[in-house]
Amino acid sequence: MELLYGTGNQAKLALMRRALADLDLKIVGLKELGVLVPEIVETGDSPLENARIKATAYYKLFHRPVFSCDSGLYFEGLPSDLQPGVHVRRVNGMQLGDDEMIAYYSGLALRYGRIRATYRNAICFVSDESHLYESMAKQLSGKSFLLTSRPHSKRVKGFPLDSLSIDPKTGKYFYDLPMDQADDPVWQSGIHQFFESMVHRLTARANQHPDGKGTSR
């Protein structure tokens, strides 16, 4: 089964492919379509709303099975006006680039000390005009990490905060962990479960109700 992943971020595409490597799925990114893709404005107040906005918009554009993900960043112990939520890249009305994000969030860590942070993640998959599958279950959330004020020298485009992320257990930057420990096993397990369930439901629907309609969430 070939699925379109509604992202132009190649690092996110590679991460998703690693998480689903053992499933019979071919994950294609927006840049591989070879067409100009319009920007989708994310107006939701939660990761799930934004994931749904993107997935439904891309389905209307390309009329093929597509999924989108979104996330919100949440800090322990910081006031509500400093919680990024779904606006991780938008600060004081400005859209930040990778280097600007590193500067802003390292400044927060300098001010408050190392900040314990967690990403809450959501996914929405649209298989056809009548069937939508989505989740913001706890198992999709990433493991907690620490943001530090001293950036790592390594940069990966599209993942600027990884340069500030420290593993609470080892005290090491995630970039200094062995490759098999660098990816988030909590998120990978959750996303794998979602797609396993989705494939089973699609197969069952095709076998039992080939003409059935409805929306599943």
Q: Which two tokens stand for residue 196?
A: 């396993």
State the pLDDT at residue 104: 97
CATH 3.90.950.10, domain 2-208, yes or no:
yes
pLDDT above 70 (res 12):
yes
Please provide the distance, in angstroms rounded to a whole number, between the alpha carbons at the two ends of the chain. 20
- Tell me how many degrees the CA angle 20-65-95 measures, rounded to the nearest 5: 80
State the pLDDT at residue 215: 47
d(CA 68, CA 66): 7
- Tell me how many degrees the CA angle 125-93-144 measures, rounded to the nearest 5: 55
The pLDDT-based confidence of 2 (bands split at 50, 70, 90) is very high
pLDDT average, residue stretch 128-145: 91
State the pLDDT at residue 205: 79
pLDDT in tens, 98-128: 999 999 999 999 999 999 999 999 999 999 9
State the pLDDT at residue 212: 47
Contact between 54 and 70 under an 8 Å Cβ cutoff? The reply is yes
| Whole-structure pTM value | 0.80
